[in-house]
Chain A
Amino acid sequence: KQEVTQIPAALSVPEGENLVLNCSFTDSAIYNLQWFRQDPGKGLTSLLLIQSSQREQTSGRLNASLDKSSGRSTLYIAASQPGDSATYLCAVEGGSEKLVFGKGTKLTVNP
């Protein structure tokens, strides 16, 4: 059964810092990996999707990489801002469950 782990569970950084969030998964037979952002009490906002044949995707200050063979993905956030404060979730698609999620990393960016 696919398991997704995100480290760290929480992260607090000063504004302007570059940071990396980590995601690992146990079964490398995935179709794609998607990073989401969730604000308190709200739904999920899709940030980036990496297909299994791709190595990375970029959107603005965000860059996500995927190493399928080692079961790892990273989300890089450049020049962090207070508005980036949220919980970041990674999810993999593959197998019988549509998406399998990690527990998330709660990011706080301090002004």
Chain B
Amino acid sequence: KAGVTQTPRYLIKTRGQQVTLSCSPISGHRSVSWYQQTPGQGLQFLFEYFSETQRNKGNFPGRFSGRQFSNSRSEMNVSTLELGDSALYLCASSSPDPGVYEQYFGPGTRLTVT
């Protein structure tokens, strides 16, 4: 099975712009979670989607939003970019099978805001 894929891998944007990142989960996985990783704060949970519905949300401002499509692919959007949004954005997927809880991560999208 192919792993979790994220596109693009690298992105450079200017303050004030908006950006959309994409995540394709492992085939058959219906849960997709997004995380932000920075040197100062470490890995922080953004939100989780399951069957096109947001199931959980972390403590991030409303500029961060996401969605999930019927094929389980997910996108996250950041509007009005700030310098502090520069980070590695990781998504993870997990199986819907009962008793299987492992999270599988993609390689991440490195976002640089200038």
Contacts and interface: CB of A to CB of B under 8 A. Distances in A.
Interface of A: 31-32, 34, 36, 41-46, 49, 51, 89, 91, 93, 96-104
Interface stretch (B62-70, B77-85, B96-104): B96-104
B50 to A, nearest CB: 10
Given A34-B102, A42-B107, A99 B90 contact: no
Majority secondary structure of chain B interface residues (helix, strand, loop or mixed): strand
Contacts of A51: 101
A49 B88 CA distance: 23
Contacts of A91: 43, 103
A104 B43 CA distance: 10
B105 A36 contact: yes
Nearest to A44: B105
A103 B108 contact: no
A91 B105 CA distance: 13
A43 B105 CA distance: 6
A46 B102 contact: yes
Contact of B56 (A31, A34, A44, A96): A96
A37 to B, nearest CB: 11
B101 A31 contact: yes
Given A99-B45, A101-B43, A44 B102 contact: no
Contacts of A97: 45, 56, 58
A100 B106 CA distance: 17
Contacts of A104: 42
Nearest to A100: B45
B108 A43 contact: yes
Nearest to B55: A98
B22 interface: no
> Which residue, of A36, A42, A44, A100, has the highest number of chain B Cβ atoms within 10 A?
A44
A94 to B, nearest CB: 11
B48 interface: yes
Contacts of B35: 99, 101
Interface centre among A31, A45, A46 (most CB of B within 10 A): A46
Contacts of A49: 101-102
